[in-house]
A and B are shown apart, each in its own frame.
Chain A
Amino acid sequence: MSLFLSLSLRNVFRNRVRTVVALLAIATGCAALIVNGGVIYNIFRELREDAIHGRHGHIQVYRRGYTENHRREPARYLLPGFEADRVVALVKALPHVARVTRRREFTGMISRADRYVAFVGIGVEPEDDPEFSRHMTMKAGRSLSPDDPYGVVAGLGLSQKIDAGPGDPLTLTANTSSGALNATDASLRGVFEGGLKEYDDWTLKVPIRAAHELLGDDRIEQIVILLDRTESVPEVLHALEGAFEKDGLDLEVKPWNELALFHNQVVSLFRRELDVIKLIISTIVILGIANTIGMSIVERRMELATLRALGLRPGVVGRLLMTEALITGLLGGAFGVLLGVAIAVTASAIGIPFPSPPGATRPFVGGVDIVPGIVAFSFVLSVTATLAAAAFPVWRALKRPIAETLRGA
């Protein structure tokens, strides 16, 4: 090790109490960033999994133009049953595809006794739905079953609106594709909570065959795909587009993150909050360290003046001091990473009970994710903040005339 580096290292540990205080300040700031970021990313993950396994799947496939126009002309953007079968077969053959299901959304009225309430129906395949609804909680009764073709499940809010519980008979009314009014009897098998209040207030899940009977055709609105892991979405999207083009299918595909608007809003809000926290913690670290480094430099001013008198250039003395700050920042950052990771592991093992996020309905037990990007950022920020904190005291020490310092003025 060079004498220069050795001198920097020895200077760092010259006043051990002060160094420990400085390292603690940096490490605490770094750990706070890691933990805060980890909590927020854990919430993101929870919301993401809610969106994927509760509502949207990883990818949805529609007839081209669906996203832009289906509200104006819903019937025009439906896939005939045979075409949907072809698409499902094609999708199932792709790597990373774990499950594929068909859905048909519609609106109608639900009645029970004297109550008559509008609903948003989703025709789903009962054998697949539990897998696509892993993040839904059955509050009462049971989920859909292929053995119960007219058994439906309602969102908690909707069930309360019609004052219905499991086993209650219901009548569903909707317009067929030709415009006629149609109705079917059903029974409420269960009540679910999907995590979003708006969703739970309006949604009724209906076995797709019952939905087809009610709507008078076998057409499909969405083909929903679950993958073996979320990270495969871009790869599968690419493969789907290639496969559809090759087979001459005029379809559009949407990844979950373009569908999960609530998730995206929350992520955007919390990212901003994370930026503010970063700024606050950086400022605290800079102010805390600036004082410590400033004191250290003031105490050593005679020594620094001596080095300059001996012929060390101002830049060399500055480099020496900044190297000391760099070592302090690196050590503080490293301790901070260890501390942050330890807190994250412990907190995740214990579990942190969270209230439901804004607009959501369920509290959840979360943890602290160890996000490599945030860990790296926190480490780099700790080092940078320490260097920034040192910059002014170092500059001031180098500006001071040598003779004046040696004179003790």
Chain B
Amino acid sequence: MFVLTSVSRVYGAGAQQSVALHDVSLQVGRGEFVAIAGPSGSGKTTLLNLVGGIDAPTSGRIAIDGRELSRLTPSDLADFRLAKIGFVFQQFSLIPVLTAAENVELPLLFRKDVAAAERKRAVASALDRVGLADKAGRRPAELSGGEQQRVAVARAVAGNPEIVLADEPTANLDHETGGAVVALLLELNRERGTTFLYATHDPELVGLAGRVVTLRDGRITGDVA
């Protein structure tokens, strides 16, 4: 599915230099449900950003399905993310002026391979799957934190991406709601065979993953299936 080979990411320069990832190599297969564990500042977000193509490594190679991301132009990379990757952010990152359904629909609007009718069906199905069909017309401000994150999950999976990257998806949720969100991700992984990679430092949520990659100070210190 995707392969990271000797990937390093360094921010800043000189005295301000900070190494977020150091010589990381990782291979994740199709359909895996992987937790990236580690304390704050260990490089979890950087790893997800690099895999998602929204950041570029300082050195090393990242290939997804054989395509090396560094060779893609910004527009090609955007198309690649649109078609292959779904994101779930810690802050939900929904568009406040759009309803839940419109938030889910927005990325699909730019998919040339998804016709209007199919798009509407995909939105309804995704919202139904996260249990928010009855709140499709509500704006984010009218939803609870857990509901917003479920909308974000629906947005991430509506286009049937091959990989879903979730960065601390439960950090802003209470324990019970967070557990429900991860359980939802797990169900989607089993139903659709989507590859999930989520970052968390919550040991209980880590336990739900089929594979746990542990990071510390930018290095992989554990990889347990």
Contact = CB atoms under 8 A, between A and B. Distances in A.
B49 A312 contact: no
Closest 3 A-B residue pairs measured CB to CB?
Answer: A311-B82, A403-B55, A10-B97
A158 B58 CA distance: 90
A7 B49 contact: no
B49 A403 contact: yes
B26 interface: no
5 contacts: A11-B97, A303-B95, A303-B96, A311-B79, A311-B82
Given A313-B79, A314-B75, A302 B95 contact: no
Interface stretch (B64-72, B104-112, B185-193, B210-218): B104-112
Given A302-B91, A407-B45, A311 B107 contact: yes
Interface string A275-316: 000000000000000000000000000110111111111111
Interface string A381-406: 00000000000000000000111101
Contacts of B110: 311-313, 316
A306 B98 CA distance: 14
Interface string A6-40: 11001100100000000000000000000000000
A227 B19 CA distance: 85
Nearest to B107: A310
A403 B75 contact: no
B178 interface: no
Pick the most buried of A305, A307, A308, A311: most chain B CB atoms within 10 A of its CB.
Answer: A311
Contacts of A308: 54, 78
Contacts of A14: 96-97
B93 A403 contact: no
B45 A7 contact: no
Contacts of B33: none
Contacts of B98: 3, 7, 10
A3 B81 contact: no
Pick the most buried of A306, A310, A314: most chain B CB atoms within 10 A of its CB.
Answer: A310
A312 B81 CA distance: 8
B196 interface: no
Contacts of B45: 407
Contacts of A82: none
Nearest to B48: A403
A309 B90 CA distance: 14
A407 to B, nearest CB: 7
B83 A311 contact: yes
A47 B155 CA distance: 67
A354 interface: no
A53 B130 CA distance: 81
Interface string B76-92: 00111111010101010
Contacts of B105: 3
Contacts of B75: 313-315
B74 A314 contact: yes
Chain A interface: which size bin?
A: 20 to 34
Interface of A: 2-4, 6-7, 10-11, 14, 302-303, 305-316, 401-404, 406-407
Chain B interface: which size bin?
A: 20 to 34
Pick the most buried of B46, B52, B54, B81: most chain A CB atoms within 10 A of its CB.
Answer: B54
The B contact surface, by secondary structure, is: helix
A47 B89 CA distance: 68
Contacts of B109: 2-4
Contacts of A315: 75
Contact of A309 (B87, B91, B97): B87
Interface string B102-131: 100111011000000000000000000000
Nearest to A12: B97
A309 B52 contact: yes
Given A310-B82, A311-B78, 4 more contacts: A11-B97, A306-B89, A311-B79, A314-B74
Nearest to B105: A3
Contact of A302 (B54, B87, B93): B93
Nearest to A401: B55
Contacts of B82: 310-312
Contacts of B46: 403
A311 B52 CA distance: 10
A311 B163 CA distance: 13
A313 B78 contact: yes
B44 to A, nearest CB: 12
A311 B82 CA distance: 4
Contacts of B54: 305, 308-309, 401-403, 406
A383 to B, nearest CB: 23
A311 B81 contact: yes
Nearest to B93: A306
Contacts of A7: 95, 97-98, 102, 106
Interface in B20-38: none
Contacts of B89: 306, 309, 406
Contacts of A309: 52, 54, 81, 87, 89
A14 B97 CA distance: 7
B93 A3 contact: no
Contacts of B74: 313-314
B204 to A, nearest CB: 26
A308 B87 CA distance: 11
B78 A3 contact: no
